[in-house]
Chains A and B, each alone.
Chain A
Amino acid sequence: MSSVPASSEKRRPIRWSHYLQNVLLYLAVVIIFGPIFWLIVTSFKESADAYALPPQILFTPTLEQYASAMDGFWAPFLHSVIIVGVSTVICLLLGVPAAFALSFYHANNNESILFWFITTKALPQVAVLVPLFVIFRTLQLLDTVWVLIIVFVGMNTPIVVWMMYQFMKDLPREILEAAQVDGVKLSQMLLQIVIPLTRAGIASTAMLCVIFAWNEFLFSVSFTSIAWQPLSVEVAAQQTSRGQFWAELSAFTTLAIIVPVIVGWLTQKQLVRGLTSGAVK
């Protein structure tokens, strides 16, 4: 953007490769975003037109699907926002300091602790379902706001530690060590140096937590029922035995991905080129 005052002779050959790369990129967008584009298009169709072939390219869009989808949308949506929001904040509060501890302070067991964190995710969900169910039933936590928050904290904190460790490793040690020698308080070091410098990493990690929690289905359907049912369960419930549910399911799914898309968009704003390096050197 700014730091490359390249001479024009040098620029020229790069120009057409630049366009070639753009073409490649747009092609990738068509392929990768295509299915979702089709999903969104379908959500504006009448139920019966959704599966017509050859596909209807020109059609009068209808909001019928959205109208019926909105019916059952808000309560589970709110549940999901609360559960996912609270659990993600807790995950970051726990995971970011832990990742800093593992990456900055020397200790013989840092690598093994880091590895242990990630191995907690190696046990398949289905296998721990019954034990968790029994535990939560005994604690009288089934179908409360806490049950999924607890589950998601256990599920996502290891990911935060694992991801943030790498971003923290990229921090310039000299600055941190100098700060340490100068006697800068730990909290200041974290808040004023570490967190600002790893903003991009924190943002993408947070996005990951949000998405895993937002889309989680198996635990959600098992541990909640009516009072705290999240959106992912409601999305699944859109497949009815009536058939021809594509249009309605598409509308519901489109609504359901709005939050992740917003989070994703906020994340990519953090991924501005040279954020880390620019701030350091």
Chain B
Amino acid sequence: MEDMRTGLRKIRRRDFLKLGGMVAAGSVAAPWLAGCGGGGAAGGEVTIAAVNNPQMEDMEGLLGDFKKKTDITAKFQFLPENDLRQRVTQDVSLNAGNFDIVMVGAYETPIWAQSQWLEPLDPFFEQMSEKERSAYDLEDILQTWRTSLSYEDQLYAIPFYGESSSLIYRTDLFEKAGIEMPERPTWEQVTGFAEELNGIEDGVSGIAMRGLPGWGANMAAFDTFVNTYGGRWYNLNWEPQVTTPEFRNAIEAYANLAEFAQPGVTSDNFPECLTLFSSGKAAMWYDATVAGGLVSDPKASEVADQVGFAYAPTAVTPNGSHWLWCWSLGIEAASKNKEGAFEFLKWSTSKDYINLVGKELSYNRVPPGTRRSTYEDTPYGELPWTEVELTSIETADPENPTRDPVPYTGIQFITIPEWQALGDAVGRLLTSVLTGDMTPEEMQQRAQAEALQVAKQGKYLKN
């Protein structure tokens, strides 16, 4: 009853404002321009804000199939990751509803769900017919994702792309040096290899790694160091744990390894490392599992047939040694075409879509890491890097990311809204350690202060 009334009031105000806006616009506008404006999607259109990764770009090329099946026109806005996040955050948090579907990461989904900015998907699945449901086969989507994209037992987004982290290396260079990469190496071993292989050929670095400051850049890699060296950000009372010896070990291990990384490591992120490795300038590369497919593509890589795949290295604990990330599609709560949006979600995350990509483009371009059937029933599963990929994703546990218990979830991030700022700040400190402008101790002190401020500001720390 009350809901209805406020709803009514909202509508009235909105319509009134729309009218006002139109009058204002019309009085100044040349009529040919006025027609072009008009916000909001029509019945047969859905709009999607997406990060411009290769899988999404492939999707844009295949939209004809969606149009044919549903008669809905889908329109994309592509942006680089940081800009997308900022744009979409504004849109949902200020309730603008410019998009029907937003591409959200594993990090944002539960946070946004909690704020009710995303539409719960369970009701849509319940409305599906039996036949539709079995064709879509929600159970086929990896359990990891169904858990981490849920909030209070409701699913809020469907993964389109999933990854963990792993180590890839150059088999030819390892052979030349007469060393062998174990399937599950330790960071100590890897640092040794990096030292040995650094400069083995002219211009070849021991390892390529992320060093650009940012919570989604160097911190993604560094956080797995923290976890596997037994460190954690907070204890169960949300007291920061950055000054512990374990955390120190992680900083030092990362900094030691960086000695043998590519020159200018502090300005490099995934794309730069990809370019390095595929042009033969690095002997190893620790990054997302998706890298395996990209460096094995002979069209884009000069080392395509010399790539070996190993699991993410570990130190004192396997917990949190490899990260977990997905790009998933969710429906904005303010969307005006939720039915159409769900049709799009269904189409783009179905088994059929994966086969469509496989047949139209090629099976090594299918969106990886989301469905078990992709690995078991399609030719993608036979590709050399997919075993490490699937196992890593399935064994990554964001509920237990560290050796000691923590009050948060998430492996290479903490699932709180304040993490972005904290991660960025600590990421910058970390680059100072690499350039020698700061000692690990100083970094620990500064990062501890940042972490404490977050715990207080976010009202997590009780005292």
B272: Cβ under 8 A from any A Cβ: yes
Q: Are A244 and B300 in contact (CB under 8 A)?
A: yes
Q: Are B78 and A237 in contact (CB under 8 A)?
A: yes
Q: Are A225 and B78 in contact (CB under 8 A)?
A: no
Q: Are B96 and A133 in contact (CB under 8 A)?
A: yes
Q: Which of chain B's residues has its CB closest to A147's CB?
A: B37
The interface size bin for chain A is 35 or more
Stretch at the interface among A135-143, A164-172, A188-196, A207-215: A135-143
Q: Are B37 and A227 in contact (CB under 8 A)?
A: yes
**B24 CB contacts on chain A under 8 angstroms:** 139
**B294 CB contacts on chain A under 8 angstroms:** 242-243
A145: Cβ under 8 A from any B Cβ: yes
CB of B222 to closest CB in A, whole Å: 19
- CA distance in complex: A145, B28 (Å): 12
Q: Are B90 and A243 in contact (CB under 8 A)?
A: no
Contact of A229 with B77 at beta-carbon distance under 8 Å, contacts A137-B96, A222-B90 already known: yes
Q: Are A146 and B25 in contact (CB under 8 A)?
A: yes
Q: Are B275 and A243 in contact (CB under 8 A)?
A: yes
Q: Are A139 and B271 in contact (CB under 8 A)?
A: no
Please encode chain A, from 19 to 53, with 1 for each CB lying within 8 Å of some chain B CB and 0 for all others: 00000000000000000000000000001100110
**A137 CB contacts on chain B under 8 angstroms:** 94-96
- CA distance in complex: A139, B17 (Å): 6
B270: Cβ under 8 A from any A Cβ: yes
A3: Cβ under 8 A from any B Cβ: no
A109: Cβ under 8 A from any B Cβ: no
**A144 CB contacts on chain B under 8 angstroms:** 25, 36-39
A239: Cβ under 8 A from any B Cβ: yes
Q: Are A225 and B271 in contact (CB under 8 A)?
A: no
Q: Are A146 and B51 in contact (CB under 8 A)?
A: no
A236: Cβ under 8 A from any B Cβ: yes
Contact of A243 with B270 at beta-carbon distance under 8 Å, contacts A140-B17, A221-B83, A226-B77 already known: yes
- CA distance in complex: A1, B98 (Å): 58
B133: Cβ under 8 A from any A Cβ: no
Q: Which of chain A's residues has its CB closest to B78's CB?
A: A237
Contact of A221 with B87 at beta-carbon distance under 8 Å, contacts A146-B37, A236-B79, A237-B52 already known: yes
Contact of A244 with B25 at beta-carbon distance under 8 Å, contacts A221-B83, A221-B87, A225-B98 already known: no
- CA distance in complex: A127, B248 (Å): 37
- CA distance in complex: A112, B86 (Å): 37
Q: Are A142 and B96 in contact (CB under 8 A)?
A: yes
Q: Are B52 and A141 in contact (CB under 8 A)?
A: no
B319: Cβ under 8 A from any A Cβ: no
- CA distance in complex: A142, B39 (Å): 7
A266: Cβ under 8 A from any B Cβ: no
- CA distance in complex: A144, B270 (Å): 35
Q: Are A236 and B53 in contact (CB under 8 A)?
A: no
**B14 CB contacts on chain A under 8 angstroms:** 140
**A2 CB contacts on chain B under 8 angstroms:** none
Q: Are B83 and A142 in contact (CB under 8 A)?
A: no
- CA distance in complex: A170, B35 (Å): 44
Which positions 298-324 of chain B face chain A at CB distance < 8 Å? Answer: 300, 302
- CA distance in complex: A47, B274 (Å): 13
**B239 CB contacts on chain A under 8 angstroms:** none
B9: Cβ under 8 A from any A Cβ: no
**B275 CB contacts on chain A under 8 angstroms:** 51, 243-244
Contact of B87 among A47, A222, A244 (CB under 8 A): A222
**A244 CB contacts on chain B under 8 angstroms:** 271, 274-275, 278, 300
**A225 CB contacts on chain B under 8 angstroms:** 47, 49, 77, 87, 91, 98-99
A60: Cβ under 8 A from any B Cβ: no
Which positions 240-254 of chain A face chain B at CB distance < 8 Å? Answer: 240-245
- CA distance in complex: A146, B17 (Å): 16
Please encode chain B, from 243 to 276, with 1 for each CB lying within 8 Å of some chain A CB and 0 for all others: 0000000000000000000000000001111110
Contact of A241 with B271 at beta-carbon distance under 8 Å, contacts A225-B77, A233-B79 already known: yes
Contact of A241 among B39, B51, B95 (CB under 8 A): B51
Contact of A241 with B98 at beta-carbon distance under 8 Å, contacts A145-B33, A225-B47, A226-B77 already known: no
CB of B48 to closest CB in A, whole Å: 9
Q: Which of chain B's residues has its CB closest to A79's CB?
A: B36
In the complex, given contacts A48-B279, A225-B91, A237-B52, what are 9 additional A-B residue pairs having Cβ atoms less than 8 angstroms apart?
A: A137-B96, A141-B21, A225-B87, A227-B36, A237-B78, A240-B52, A240-B80, A242-B54, A242-B271
Query: Which 5 residue pairs spanning A and B have beta carbons closest together?
Result: A144-B37, A243-B271, A243-B274, A140-B21, A225-B98
**Footprint of A on B, CB under 8 Å?**
14, 17-18, 20-21, 24-25, 29, 33, 36-39, 47, 49, 51-54, 57, 75-81, 83, 86-87, 90-91, 94-96, 98-99, 270-275, 278-279, 294, 300, 302
**Footprint of B on A, CB under 8 Å?**
47-48, 51-52, 82, 129-130, 133-134, 137-146, 221-222, 225-229, 233, 236-237, 239-245
26 contacts between A and B (CB under 8 A): A48-B300, A51-B275, A82-B33, A137-B94, A138-B17, A139-B24, A140-B14, A141-B21, A141-B25, A143-B98, A144-B25, A225-B77, A225-B98, A227-B37, A228-B36, A237-B78, A240-B57, A240-B80, A241-B53, A241-B81, A242-B274, A242-B294, A243-B270, A243-B273, A243-B275, A244-B275
